[in-house]
């Protein structure tokens, strides 16, 4: 091949590699040639570009599903962006390096699935509804250090699955589990499960950036090392799990959503007195802050992280098994864990470090009239405080 032709090929290859990412805005698939009907799917494919959904997107005539594959995807609720579908299986698919969702996703089929997958970052910012009816809602982030940040979102689904290789930011969300054998799984395979304080969102040079400030204390291990004198309960001696490193910055090239940001206000937990000769009667009072997951008579909940888990003041009311597992510390301050309805199950909390149960409400069912209490760091009897790195005094531990 002549040297001149080789040079031209090299220059062309370099130009293609350096092609600027374009923004593709979709407001109505029926009037947009970039929406293609392929079998039963309406497909939007822009692997090198950012796709912004700025209108109500539904399957084209003769199709049932909506699939978007791009370099970055934003469902912009502030511009009316939302997606609905009626098909079985993966009826709504968002697949990109970075994904931002501030608009509603609705799968009307009880056998449908909402599937969100990224390799750099997923951010879901409410108030917004993710409704898969009796189907599934899956949010996965598969890249090393990939972060999922979910705040102020309402899920309605049979099966909720959230899994990140990096941190999971989980705060001010509600999930109503439906139908038989309902299940929720929240997992950070390589990081911590944190509250909103660990993440900030800002518009810089036209890009929406999400990052963790280096001077922000959020994960339990970081808090213990940062301010030991602030602890209301003794901190046991021993090795504290290595805190999660600061998150990498990820961004999407579009404007900041203008919808209201939920305000978090921690309620003051109420201690329920123990009546003489009887069983403590907990007084659950789910508030507007933090997270709440409620299930039906066969519901199960699993929360796990490589490092720390912060569930302070959250409410998890699930019928069968509640399992919380962390390689580091677990904060259950003011948290409500209860499975005293529906089918029999166990509450098991296991940490490689400390478990704080200050003002927590822990109600394990008395299955088949057999007295039962939660298992915390291997101990299935009360009191838990003072044993196996469990600190704090619960409001109810029954």
Specify whether the CB–CB gap between 104 and 125 falls below 8 A: no
Phi-psi region of 180 (alpha: psi -120 to 50; beta: other; left: phi over 0): beta
Last residue in a domain, options 190, 218, 246: 218
Asked whether residue 42 is domain-assigned, the answer is yes
Cα-Cα end-to-end distance for the chain = 80
Last residue in a domain, options 218, 248, 268: 218
pTM for the whole thing? 0.76
User: For all residues of the chain together, what is the average pLDDT?
Assistant: 77
Average pLDDT over residues 63-84: 94
What sign results for the dihedral spanned by CA atoms 188, 290, 254, 83? positive
Q: 65 with 184, same domain?
A: yes
Domain that residue 117 falls in: 21-218
Last residue in a domain, options 202, 218, 234: 218
Q: What is the pLDDT of residue 292?
A: 95
Q: What is the pLDDT of residue 222?
A: 36
Report the C-alpha dihedral over residues 346, 171, 53, 210, rounded to 10 degrees: -130
Residue 275 has pLDDT above 90, yes or no: no
Residues contacting residue 320 through CB under 8 Å, at least 6 positions apart: 298, 299, 300, 339, 342, 343, 344, 345
Q: What is the pLDDT of residue 6?
A: 52
Q: 213 with 334, same domain?
A: no
In this predicted model, what pLDDT tens digit does every residue of 203-214 receive, in sequence order? 233 334 444 433
Residues contacting residue 214 through CB under 8 Å, at least 6 positions apart: 246
Q: What is the pLDDT of residue 63?
A: 94
In the three-class reduction of DSSP (H, G, I as helix; E, B as strand; rest coil), residue 82 is classed as: strand
What is the domain count for the chain? Answer: 2
Specify whether the CB–CB gap between 32 and 45 falls below 8 A: no
Is the N-terminal amide bond of 42 cis, ω within 30° of 0?
no
| Number of neighbouring beta carbons within 10 Å of residue 382 | 14
In this predicted model, what pLDDT tens digit does every residue of 92-130 receive, in sequence order? 999 999 999 999 999 998 889 999 999 999 999 988 999
Average pLDDT over residues 180-192: 94
Asked whether residue 335 is domain-assigned, the answer is yes
Range among 50-64, 202-216, 360-374 rated most confident: 50-64
Q: 62 with 208, same domain?
A: yes
Burial of 398 (0-12, 13-18, 19+ CB in 10 A): buried
Asked whether residue 224 is domain-assigned, the answer is no
Give residue 226's pLDDT band: very low, low, confident or very high (50, 70, 90).
very low
Average pLDDT over residues 10-38: 75
What sign results for the dihedral spanned by CA atoms 207, 212, 215, 218? positive
In this predicted model, what pLDDT tens digit does every residue of 131-146 receive, in sequence order? 997 899 999 999 999 9
Asked whether residue 4 is domain-assigned, the answer is no
**pLDDT exceeding 70 applies to what percent of the chain?**
71
């Amino acid at each position: 091949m002549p040297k001149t032709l080789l040079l031209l090929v090299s220059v062309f290859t370099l130009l293609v590699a350096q092609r600027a990412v374009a923004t593709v805005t979709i407001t109505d698939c029926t009037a947009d040639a970039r929406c293609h009907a392929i079998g039963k799917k309406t497909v939007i494919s822009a692997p090198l570009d950012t796709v912004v959904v700025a209108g109500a997107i539904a399957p084209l005539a003769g199709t049932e599903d909506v699939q978007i594959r791009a370099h970055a995807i934003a469902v912009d609720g502030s511009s009316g962006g939302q997606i609905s579908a009626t098909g079985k299986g993966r009826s709504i698919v968002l697949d990109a390096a970075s994904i931002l969702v501030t608009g509603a996703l609705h799968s009307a089929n009880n056998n449908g699935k909402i599937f969100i997958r990224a390799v750099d970052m997923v951010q879901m910012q409410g108030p917004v509804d993710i409704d898969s009816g009796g189907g599934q809602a899956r949010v996965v982030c598969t890249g090393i250090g990939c972060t999922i940040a979910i705040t102020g979102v309402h899920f309605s689904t049979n099966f909720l699955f959230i899994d990140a290789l990096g941190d999971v930011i989980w705060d001010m969300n509600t999930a109503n589990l439906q139908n038989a054998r309902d299940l929720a799984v929240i997992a950070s395979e390589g990081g911590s499960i944190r509250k909103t304080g660990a993440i900030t969102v800002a518009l810089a040079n036209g890009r929406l950036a999400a990052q963790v400030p280096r001077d922000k204390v959020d994960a339990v291990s970081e808090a213990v090392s940062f301010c030991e004198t602030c602890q209301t309960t003794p901190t046991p001696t021993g090795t504290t799990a290595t805190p999660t490193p600061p998150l990498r910055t990820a961004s999407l090239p579009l404007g900041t959503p203008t919808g209201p940001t939920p305000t978090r206000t921690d309620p003051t937990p109420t201690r329920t007195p123990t009546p003489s000769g009887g069983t403590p009667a907990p007084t659950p009072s789910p508030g507007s802050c933090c997270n709440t997951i409620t299930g039906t008579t066969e519901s199960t909940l699993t929360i796990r992280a490589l490092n720390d888990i912060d569930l302070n003041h959250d409410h998890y009311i699930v019928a069968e098994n509640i399992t919380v597992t962390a390689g580091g510390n677990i904060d259950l301050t003011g948290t409500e864990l209860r499975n005293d309805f529906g089918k029999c199950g166990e509450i098991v909390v296991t940490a490689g470090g400390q478990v704080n149960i200050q003002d927590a409400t822990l109600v394990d069912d008395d299955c088949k009239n057999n007295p039962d209490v939660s298992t915390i760091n291997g101990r299935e009897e009360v009191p838990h405080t003072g044993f196996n790195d469990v600190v704090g005094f619960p409001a109810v531990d029954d």
